[in-house]
Amino acid sequence: MCVGIPMRVLSVEGIAARATDGEAEALIDLSLTGPLAPGTWVLTHLGGAREVLEEAEAHKIAAALRALRSIMAGGGAGDAFADLEACPPALPPHLRAAAAAGRTTG
């Protein structure tokens, strides 16, 4: 499984940026996103910015990652997944149609 880390751009020099996740700073590659202004949030993976994020989305991802670290250490998730808990699981449209038609097997 690949995990992207949300980071906020602190400064930019060419195709590289200094960014932080709130705990550590890193030099990231901006080749896939192009030039970005300081303060922009990005999803990073393996040292590169993969996509620009809205700040609220970056905070949700960061909270989920903190919750997963807590769970792995024997703690709880807190309210990091409250938005998911409020929504019941839903079948994709093609499976809903099959279930509505009474088909329960392939």
pLDDT in tens, 15-68: 999 999 999 999 999 999 999 999 999 999 999 999 999 999 999 999 999 999
| Domain count for the chain | 1
Supply the CATH number for residue 40's domain: 2.30.30.140
Give the mean pLDDT of 64-79: 88
Domain assignment of residue 65, yes or no: yes
Q: Name every residue whose Cβ is closer than 8 Å to that of residue 5 and which is 6 or more positions away in sequence.
A: 21, 43, 44, 45, 65
Domain assignment of residue 93, yes or no: no
Domain assignment of residue 72, yes or no: yes
Reduce the secondary structure of 69-102 to three states and give it as a string. Answer: HHHHCCCCCCCCCHHHHCCCCCCCHHHHHHHHCC
Q: What is the pLDDT of residue 106?
A: 61
Taking CA atoms, 23 is separated from 50, 76, 84, in Å, by 20, 21, 26
Q: How far apart are CA 79 and CA 99, in angstroms?
A: 33
Domain assignment of residue 21, yes or no: yes
Domain assignment of residue 103, yes or no: no
What domain range is 24 assigned to?
Answer: 5-82
Closest CA to 14 of 32, 38, 37, 30: 30
Q: Count each helix (H run) and each strand (E run) in the chain, helices first.
A: 3, 5
Domain assignment of residue 22, yes or no: yes
Domain assignment of residue 32, yes or no: yes
Q: What is the pLDDT of residue 37?
A: 97
